[in-house]
A and B are shown apart, each in its own frame.
Chain A
């Protein structure tokens, strides 16, 4: 089972919402669309589903052109951020509704609904109306409806965004397990990098209507092809600073430097951009060759077990995520340490030149 997008784009009038995208999704895989709000996740899903027709390009299902086939004739299921259930009929009827429209027999419907409901832990709620359920249960009902359909393509558009933290964790753990069995193509849109990592599978990062990278989720995380992908796939976003290479040395400014070894050795001299993730910034020296910077500390946010530090490094905003609760003096330079092994090097256009050595090794 494959879904192929060939140069698919979408625009209205002069505006372009989706720039031409080529993407191939395989059956039985979880595919995460990761991008901030308005990056085009929902639009892309609507194109995949056939709710909208692309302005240009083709959509292929198992190699067959389905671009002009309306959504009703395709075998897709979709779950939304809002809890979408039919309000006036019971949970049983809600889950059964796609099957009834398919003209399945009564006993088939009965078995399928109970199976899906049990999987979603709704077995005891089948006689209730959707609004008599909690938010999490309502979304389970919507998920069960998508599941029972046995659709080849299941689209989940930020399905957990409206749930509270605990329920989100619970459902997030269950979703891949449940949908793995079904063997369909799953597409899951989210704004949270963490969610993508927890779901696994493949990730496509979206930025302003472009897929910047598509591949195995940990690979995309560890080896982002460009600075934009790295920024999207990091929360808080990746920090950047200017570096220049002369000979065997990478000059980081503030008199800090690291040796340009490994893949960096062959780089021509010149200016580059270095990036590192917030969790790699440290307030004490751990690695012997760690570089030391003295940015101004502007804000600290304490979340209980972690502290976010917002820094101003020569006009660049950095965010650091450090373990433990730290009471640090504000508006003063704060010594921070960065292990060169955690530094990604991008060229000045944002393309990845060399991944951080820790990631390259993994």
Chain B
């Protein structure tokens, strides 16, 4: 067969190329550019090679922020995924209550991050916040600005409040797509509630759960606004997660080089973990045949 050559086809690809260039490649290259240079002001830049990268890799500060971040994401996933599934399983399947539940579940997702932060910041205050005041009155010491544990608990509960809905809604969508015949078949087989969950609902939800876990992981790994508004990264550095640290470095101290190197490594870590997640989950799915 003769191959048709038509150079005009390039024009069809052009819009995508331009879009990707402006939205991703050029901004990323700027960061790459900063990460390999040093400046002492006057808009003069000097080649620094991989110096910033090795400096960041040796920086205890970054490793601390990274480990805090990993612990945070792990806790978030460990709470939100099972809780989301549990909520989805108990939501009504159809009718007025189902619609009402969906709306209520979607509400937290519509609240902007900084508003969520502000809500919880006020909610948790010992002097005027409902939560903080109540806890204080019944004798539970709670002060997220001073106490490490209280700060973490606040940030985690806030995230759970904000994002469990997402997992629940995704899981709900997965559950809704299971034909009724599966439940009937299980009923006829005399399967227990647990077996129905294990052998029907969980395998059938696997696809959406994978998306939920990926989304929640990436989002929690990049969390910035909410803890920044509530704790500002404190007390001390106890809730200084990666992006808070990054902003401190880039804007607070104006260390553009290290911050750029940090950003790139941050990006690569997210990419790497997401890729591992995705590969493991899709292989799992293939093996399970769901």
Contact = CB atoms under 8 A, between A and B. Distances in A.
Interface stretch (B78-86, B159-167, B197-205, B239-247): B197-205
Nearest to B203: A88
A77 B188 contact: yes
A8 B33 CA distance: 79
Interface of B is mostly: helix
A97 B181 contact: no
Contacts of A60: none
Contact of A78 (B185, B204, B287): B185
Contacts of A97: 189, 191, 199
A86 interface: yes
A82 B181 contact: yes
Interface string B264-290: 000000000000000000000001111
Interface in A93-124: 97-98, 101-102
A101 B203 contact: no
A72 B289 contact: no
Interface string A114-136: 00000000000000111110000
Interface residues of B, number: 19
B203 A87 contact: yes
B15 to A, nearest CB: 38
Interface in B158-213: 179, 181-182, 184-185, 187-191, 199-200, 202-204
Interface residues of A, number: 25
29 contacts: A46-B184, A51-B184, A72-B188, A76-B188, A77-B188, A78-B185, A80-B179, A80-B181, A80-B184, A80-B185, A81-B181, A82-B179, A84-B179, A87-B199, A87-B204, A88-B199, A88-B202, A88-B203, A89-B199, A97-B189, A97-B191, A98-B190, A101-B189, A101-B190, A101-B191, A128-B289, A129-B287, A130-B289, A131-B289
Interface of B: 179, 181-182, 184-185, 187-191, 199-200, 202-204, 287-290
Interface of A: 46, 49, 51, 71-72, 76-78, 80-82, 84, 86-89, 97-98, 101-102, 128-132
